[in-house]
Structure 1
Amino acid sequence: MAAARLQPINRPQRLSDAVGAALEKRIRTGGWVPGERLPTEAQLGAQFAVSRAVVREAIARLKADGLVHSRQGAGVFVAARPGAAAFRMSAGTPAAGHDARDVFELRLIVEAAAAERAAAQRTPEALARIADALAAMDAVLDGVAGSGDGAGADDAFHCAVAAASGNPLIHRFIEFVSQEFSASRQPTWSRDGVDCGLARASQGEHRAVFEAIVAGDPAAARAAAEQHIVSAAARLGVALSPQVAAPIDGEER
């Protein structure tokens, strides 16, 4: 039976997220320049018709993202290099189609390259970690009691592939953004996703990636990883092309 496609869930945006997004846009488009002082919490609250607590939470997010900084007794100022010290994607499942596409395009580029390198650099220990993650997902599919979270095991699989690449920066980057990527995996491993066959289809794709890595075939591993991400995106209604992850400069695979 063909796997049914689930639609992404549009989650209501918190007020602080909406205010933070508006402030971030103002900074990134040059409405406030580096070093410029932001309006006070009271002024921003009046402009957005929200409480100072909402503004304070939005400002805290901008600080965490490296866009602004506080000066004791002076206020909040735009950072000299806004965002240079942090990287973060929007929390939760992307509500808009173009946001979901951005997430999957990033996954396609990063994870395909990681799988390709893993096939060339794999070690027995690295393969064992990937196999463990596969087994954990199999347990979820088989309904084994206490088998845990399928999406978590899915995250572990991709992190294990990244670790198998032998490049610690690739591994650390994928670990860093794995929590963000996880939102794009949740619908597949939800109860509806398992019942409709989405998780089993995804697991078949995982196994193809693993088998190519075990075989030491970088081109096959990259192709299998690309196919997995393209298919995962399609299951959520996002159309991608594997060419997004194609090597540059006309390099053959």
Structure 2
Amino acid sequence: MAYASTARRGLSCSDDQEDIPMQDFEIYERIDRPRRLPDEVAVALTKAIEGGQLQPGDRLPTEAVLSKKFGVARTVIREAISLLKYDGVVDSRRGVGTFITETTNRSAFRISPGCFEKRKQIIKLLQLRAEVQAGASALAAGTRTAEQMQALEELFAEIERLDALGPDDALEQRVDTELEFYRRITEASDNEYYVEVIGMIEGNIQSNLRSAFLKNAAASEFGPSILEEHRAVRDALAIQDASLARSATRLRFERAAERLAAREDFL
């Protein structure tokens, strides 16, 4: 789902001005950090529009009101609106306010410069992880315990189950389970430095890039061929083949980076 952006900046209205009364829909939930806040606000507003809670022609509350409702700074609201404006979901009318646009006026899909930059960052992190995770997997093949292998088998089975449900029904669970799978492999390496570096990579994704990471996963990280990449890593660990674990893991993350770079909407 592309983030929309339509609010033309208004205007002579002050940020503190009272807005037209509007229901306190469930979209006004406080947002927990460390997810990137402008993306989360944009997603919440887009879902409200798609769900019919906000209709074409409705005026959005002011920055001050949205800031209070979401529990974030006005700069966060401003950036979220700008994401929505870029895709034509909202529009600003000078001196009046920001309004939801008609569906026919919205772009079908456009990748914003901000999202483009995030994808480049994700590719770099995947390339880094390909090398770091490969080393951790190779060590884990020789040091993992039977109990750790059992936990990996269970996680892989869950990845298969969630993958079968598809991105519409199980996107976040599928992505988070995959992250847990490789995190457990790293822990099985019995090397705290690998754990620390992998934690840094994951932390960067969760704090700054999660929305783009999830959208990419929905588009290109589901299906039989992707499962085969994970299965090869699992199998190498099961037979405790360090060389095979290294190569299978490196291939998995290199291919993920290549798929993202090759997407038509990324070029």
Question: What is the TM-score with the length of structure 1 in the denominator?
Answer: 0.51
Amino acid at match of 1:122: R
Unaligned runs of 5+ in 1: 1-7, 17-51, 56-91, 240-253
Amino acid at match of 2:243: A
Please list the CA deviations of residues 43-63 of structure 1 after superposition, one character each: whole Å capped at 9, or x if unmatched.
xxxxxxxxx9759xxxxxxxx
CA distance in 2: counterparts of 1:114 and 1:135, whole angstroms = 21
Does structure 2 retain, via aligned residues, the 8 Å contact 1:119–1:221? yes
Task: Say yes or no: does 1:118 pair with 2:146.
Answer: no
Residue in structure 2 matched with residue 231 of structure 1 by the alignment = 255
Residue in structure 2 matched with residue 212 of structure 1 by the alignment = 236
SS at match of 1:95: helix
CA distance in 2: counterparts of 1:229 and 1:200, whole angstroms = 16
Q: 1:96 to 1:117 in 2, by over 3 A?
A: same
Please list the CA deviations of residues 12-68 of structure 1 after superposition, one character each: whole Å capped at 9, or x if unmatched.
9x999xxxxxxxxxxxxxxxxxxxxxxxxxxxxxxxxxxx9759xxxxxxxxxxxxx
CA distance in 2: counterparts of 1:175 and 1:11, whole angstroms = 32
CA distance in 1: counterparts of 2:4 and 2:258, whole angstroms = 20
Residue 163 of structure 1 deviates from its aligned partner by 1.2
Amino acid at match of 2:236: A
Residue 234 of structure 1 deviates from its aligned partner by 1.5
Provide the identity percentage: 22
Residue in structure 1 matched with residue 129 of structure 2 by the alignment = 107
Task: Say yes or no: does 1:201 pair with 2:229.
Answer: no
Please list the CA deviations of residues 215-244 of structure 1 after superposition, one character each: whole Å capped at 9, or x if unmatched.
1111110000011011111111269xxxxx
CA distance in 1: counterparts of 2:194 and 2:213, whole angstroms = 20
Does structure 1 retain, via aligned residues, the 8 Å contact 2:171–2:214? no
CA distance in 2: counterparts of 1:151 and 1:15, whole angstroms = 20
Unaligned runs of 5+ in 2: 6-35, 39-72, 77-113
Does structure 2 retain, via aligned residues, the 8 Å contact 1:116–1:222? yes
Amino acid at match of 2:245: A
Q: 1:140 to 1:160 in 2, by over 3 A?
A: same
SS at match of 2:117: coil
CA distance in 2: counterparts of 1:11 and 1:107, whole angstroms = 31
CA distance in 1: counterparts of 2:4 and 2:116, whole angstroms = 8
SS at match of 2:240: coil
CA distance in 2: counterparts of 1:173 and 1:234, whole angstroms = 22
Aligned equivalent of 1:222, options 246, 251, 260: 246
SS at match of 1:205: helix
Q: 1:129 to 1:174 in 2, by over 3 A?
A: farther
CA distance in 1: counterparts of 2:217 and 2:228, whole angstroms = 14
Structural mapping, 1:30-179, within 5 Å = 54=75, 95=117, 98-143=120-165, 149-179=173-203
Aligned length in residues: 159
Does structure 2 retain, via aligned residues, the 8 Å contact 1:188–1:199? no
